[in-house]
Amino acid sequence: MKVLLAQSAGFCYGVERAVELTKKTAAESGCCVMLGDLIHNAHVVAELEALGVRKIAGPEDAPEGATVVLRSHGERRELVEELAARGLRCVSAACPNVLRIQTLVGQAEEDGRQVIIIGERNHPEIQGIASYCRHPLIFGGPEELAAWLAEDPTRRDLPITVAAQTTCIRELFETSIKILKKQCTNAKIFDTICNATRKRQSEAAEIAGRVDAMVVVGDPRSANTKHLTEICIERCPRVLQIEGADELSPDFFNGCSVAGLTAGASTPAGIIKEVYATMSEEIKNVESGEESFEELLNQSFKTLNTGEKVTGIVTAVGPTEVQVDVGAKQAAYIKASELSDDPNAKPEELLKVGDEIEAYIVRVNDIEGYAELSKKRLDTVKVWENIEQAVEDKTVMDGVVTEVNKGGVVVSVKGVRVFVPASQSGMPRGADLDTMVKSKVQLRITEVNRARRRVVGSIRSVADEARRAAQDEVWNSIEVGKRYTGTVKSMTAYGVFVDIGGVDGMVHISELSWSRIKTPSEVCKVGDSMEVYVISFDAEKRKISLGVKDRGVNPWEDFMSKYRVGDVATVRIVKLMTFGAFAEVVPGVDGLIHISQIADRRIEKPGDVLSEGQEVEAEIIAVDEEKKKISLSIRALLAPAAQDESEVEGE
């Protein structure tokens, strides 16, 4: 077994500069204090305090005449101004990259732009950067950013300037940028992730994908250390984050052939070397199989080993953790965050006292007598096993689309990322895949590489199979007159195509309405639900003719029941001809107004007086019941008035 050490592990340029500058200042100054922890590493802070650099909580705690060192993460603008107002000498140990971001966002807001920062809202670096703006917006990742844009569509036109925390996870930043580039019209994007951070994350991901166990060294408060751990967990089944070599246990390396080691940017080289040496020694002990007297003695007890599976009984359920009796001398518990992949799940909703539970042992502290377990990690292993089996069984699995990736989409299947190529997404070529995000889908797993944590799936194959099954069901049961509730899929000048359950049928324009219409869009649109019935079908040619008009309603009988010759009706002009105009009397029944019956004077064409869609009063002057024809007259209603006027003039 061997240990792979990341080349970029340990102090970055900014941290190393901050530590050396503080040591130099302490040597030159009679009284040197640091405002908060210089860096997120308790060992380094303790070393500086041993050199006489006292830590203070705020400007009010600084002694008169002291030199104040500002931490590597940068400081809030108002605190710097308060120190200056007191006349205290300040030495900034802030990373040059952080200072650059502070200047960048301040200038952007002066230029009238909305500043957006991608990072951890409560991290000192972010708080310092944000203090150089009046109205900054801080988003933890793409989900928060997308939600903000969706709240108000006008925000997409705002002049936006975007920067990132220097230790931001690259994938989070790049996904956020894709959203901005796609939706915003005036966004300036600055990739402010530190090059050292980028390299360290890339190396950690590469090594984690090649090893059986991964160790990340760093202070638990360190953002970049936490991000390294998150990246490693995605690629390696066994990950341990520690502060020093004393937290290592030989049991952690049981069954490992290759182990990896990386460290956060605030971890001193000395600690990394100590961990590396301890790992090498522990591995030798594991391989040699030597047992100490203490180990032989402890064999009489049930021991808990990191990385092993254990079964226990739930003894208490609290809001933040669950206590488990695993039959060992150590007390065992599971944090709420390690119970489920669902961040909103509550312990009391998942478990109750007396339940039997299986979990992984992630940490054993023999000194304090407790063991930390994780059900979530065990569930993940089981999911991987299920996914591998699903390839052989061609099982259909449920998932949620979480993001759009290059060339396709990513679907979360019980916490495992499954890549679905665009061609297998079930969407038409060139379609906007962003519309799939957050949607629930069914898919088949087509490829699994557990070592590389790579899973490929197909939504299309499931959708195609469901469509074929639905089509077969339709064709097996179709008959003339059968009614369906369908969905309008597309429209043409001569009719619409309606999906009646995986099969499209054609509704001719003449079958859409009893009224005369020019285009289908007058009565429906794509996506509308439509009640249809089968007029005819050809199973061999796979063609179906559908109707919408209610054949139980006879428009002519409706007309005859309402009107007689001599009645006046309000009619709608539906078509203009050279010889007259056709007008709808009731839906499905039209009458002709001859050109001679349109006005009380001679006109050249009907369009001189009438227009399509116009409603007018007309008298029914003739009805041919056999041929179902109606003659109408507007003139008949105008003639008496015209005659009265001529009589007045004669007098």
Annotated active-site positions, please? 125
β 331-335/321-325 pair status: antiparallel
CA–CA distance, 115 with 109 (Å, rounded to integer)? 7
CA–CA distance, 281 with 543 (Å, rounded to integer)? 76
CA–CA distance, 168 with 177 (Å, rounded to integer)? 13
The count of C-alpha atoms lying within 13 angstroms of the C-alpha of 194, restricted to the half-sphere facing its C-beta, is: 27
DSSP state of 31: S
**Residue holding tokens 């179709």?**
478
CB-CB contact of 209 with 453 (8 Å): yes
CA–CA distance, 112 with 132 (Å, rounded to integer)? 14
CA–CA distance, 536 with 195 (Å, rounded to integer)? 69
Residue count of the chain: 651
CA–CA distance, 415 with 641 (Å, rounded to integer)? 83
Query: Residue 646 is encoded by which pair of tokens?
Result: 């001529």
User: Which among 283, 235, 169, 145 is positioned nearest to 452, based on CA atoms?
Assistant: 235
Rg (CA), the chain: 39
Cα angle 223-207-231, degrees, rounded to a multiple of 5: 35
Phi, psi torsion values for 91, nearest 5 degrees: -120, 115
CB-CB contact of 177 with 146 (8 Å): no
Query: Residue 307 is encoded by which pair of tokens?
Result: 């990385």
CA–CA distance, 98 with 133 (Å, rounded to integer)? 14
Q: Name, in order, each residue with C-beta under 8 angstroms of 60's C-beta and a sequence gap of 6 or more.
A: none
Strand partners, 312: 357
Strand spans (E) along 190-339: 213-217, 239-242, 258-263, 309-317, 321-325, 331-335
CA–CA distance, 554 with 561 (Å, rounded to integer)? 11
Amino acid at 180: L
Q: What do you get for the CA distance between the two ends of the chain, in Å?
A: 126
